[in-house]
Amino acid sequence: MTFKDFNFNEQLAEGIQSMGYNTPTAIQAQAIPIILEGKDIIACAQTGTGKTASYLLPVLNSIGKADAGHRISTLILGPTRELVQQIDQQVEGLAYFTNISSLAVFGGGDGIAYEQQKRGIQNKVDIVIATPGRLIAFLTSGALKLDHLKHFVLDEADRMLDMGFFQDIMRIITYLPANRQTLLFSATMPGKIRTLARSILKDPEQINIALSQPAVGISQQIYRVHDAQKTKLIEVLLRSGLYTSTIIFASTKEKVKALAKDLKHAQINAEAFHSDMNQGEREEVLLNFKNRQLPVVIGTDALSRGIDVEGIDLVINYDVPGDPEDYIHRIGRTARAETKGTAVTLVNKHDERKLTNIQSLIDKKIEEITLPADIGSIPEQKPQFDNTKRKSRNNRRPAHKDAPKGQKRS
Ligand code: AMP
């Protein structure tokens, strides 16, 4: 299959070519024909699968056909300003040869940003890409009207619900015409997403893209450590001279801040990335990291979704993620585009069950590396959790909170 099979208009075809896309990805091959037919969809697909273009291309084609009237015809909602900006960049690239315009609307920043976004809306745009909170501010003040909306996209719907946006989404829907196409994308499909889908989609087609396994180019390793040894080990890894670009993931922003402080104290050029920073600070960190002026960035799982930086050669998991799919998201930041990368996970004595769940999801035992002698002795290892027993037990009682969420892998 090629992009020609979709019969996109000439300007859009030129945009696709200029973005360097040759072959549609699996989600694009499945979703594009359905969206072109005007149907609603619910799609289970993650970042890195080409999901953004799978809805942008048919929507851009349809706006092009209607000859861009610069009345908002498309609303795309995403959980974070980073995602909103990345979607906007893809719109700009793909729609470069069309006269379709878009605007990113997100919270944070200062009053100036709010005024700029407001002016942008008044300048008339075809596509608004927004985080829910800021969009509501524009809707309730009457600055933004969505009476002519044709396409409504929810991207990373699971993350939006995790961030507490359910009420906001339902409120936004009251401002939309009932007669519209709704496209819902989510990396996972917990019950609450299905409930949301039932209330806002009409007779949707369902698409499932299987969870992609970690790229073969990633060398996955674990170190068994005490918490007190983690920072020292990270220093050793960062000073080894083997890596030029590193992301470190920690489970909470408190840990992110503390580790950044410790590494800076040890004269390592590292910056934290978390939601307490203002937008300008976050953007500066990401830009410096992308430009390779900053070799080490430390963040929570929010950083593992959406960040599309080439050339990251080391991912460190400061702690073992509770959700095994987050492990795949995190380590997927390295070895992109068939290059090689290393993913190191630090495992303390409480993390065995989480590690077992990850190994069961990736169907592989991760190589254990011996702790360098100068870091001290390793924790006594608890017996490995028997996954087979867990499976049979789970048939009789609710799944343990650490157990992999079975329905995600459909
Ligand atoms: P996404 O899953 O939407 O975040 O996309 C991940 C990356 O794949 C982005 O950098 C896209 O620009 C890129 N991409 C999307 N579709 C294609 C395609 N058909 N061929 C090559 N790259 C693509």
* pLDDT higher than threshold 90 for residue 32: yes
Residue 68: predicted pLDDT = 58
Checking if the pLDDT of 110 tops 90, the result is: no
Closest C-alpha to ligand 1, atom 21: 21
Q: What is d(CA 297, CA 243) in angstroms, rounded to the nearest whole number?
A: 13
More confident of the two residues 329 and 186: 186
What per-residue confidence (pLDDT) applies to 270? 97
Q: 79 pLDDT exceeds 50?
A: yes
Answer left, alpha or beta for residue 49, where phi above 0 means left and psi between -120 and 50 means alpha.
alpha
pLDDT in tens, 88-107: 999 999 999 999 999 999 98
Q: Given this model, what pLDDT does residue 404 score? A: 34
Least confident of 56-60, 62-66, 143-147, 230-234: 62-66
32 CB near ligand 1 (under 6 Å):
no
Output the pLDDT for position 265.
Answer: 96
Where do the domains of the chain lie?
3-209, 218-375
CATH number, domain 218-375:
3.40.50.300
Burial of 397 (0-12, 13-18, 19+ CB in 10 A): exposed
CA distance 7 to 2: 10
pLDDT higher at 274 or 404: 274
The yes-or-no verdict on residue 407 having pLDDT over 60 is no
Ligand 1: residue whose CA is nearest its atom 1: 50
Residue 129 alpha carbon to ligand 1 centre in Å:
18
Q: For the segment 338-373, what is each residue's pLDDT rounded down to a tens digit?
A: 567 899 999 999 999 999 999 988 878 999 999 988
User: What is the residue with the minimal CA distance to atom 8 of ligand 1?
Assistant: 50
Does residue 49 have its Cβ closer than 6 Å to ligand 1? yes
Residue nearest atom 15 of ligand 1, based on CA coordinates: 50
How many Å apart are CA 297 and CA 167, to the nearest integer?
33
d(CA 272, CA 29): 38
For CA atoms 356, 361, 363, 368, give the dihedral sign. negative
* CA dist., res. 95 & res. 64, Å (int): 9
Across 17-26, 115-124, 142-151, least confident range? 115-124
Specify the pairing of strand 74-77 against strand 205-208. unpaired
Ligand 1 pocket member 305 (CB < 6 A) = no
More confident residue, 149 or 336: 149
118: its two tokens: 């407001």
Q: Are 300 and 251 in contact (CB under 8 A)?
A: yes
pLDDT attached to residue 405: 35
36 pLDDT band, cuts 50/70/90, is very high
How far is ligand 1, taken at its centre, from the CA of residue 89, in Å? Answer: 12
Of residues 17 and 218, the one with the higher pLDDT is 17
Mean pLDDT of the chain: 86
- The model's confidence at residue 379, banded by pLDDT at 50, 70 and 90, is confident
Confidence band, pLDDT 50/70/90 cuts, at residue 125: very high
The fold for domain 3-209 equals Rossmann fold (3.40.50)
Counting atoms of ligand 1 from 1, which one is nearest the CA of 52? 3
Rounded-to-integer distance, Cα 403 and Cα 324, Å: 8
Both tokens of residue 349? Answer: 């004595």
Tell me: pLDDT of 333 over 80: no
Q: Which of 68-82, 127-141, 292-306 is predicted with the least confidence, judged by mean pLDDT?
A: 292-306
pTM of the model: 0.62
Q: Residue 215 has what DSSP assignment?
A: P
Q: Are 3-209 and 218-375 in the same CATH fold?
A: yes
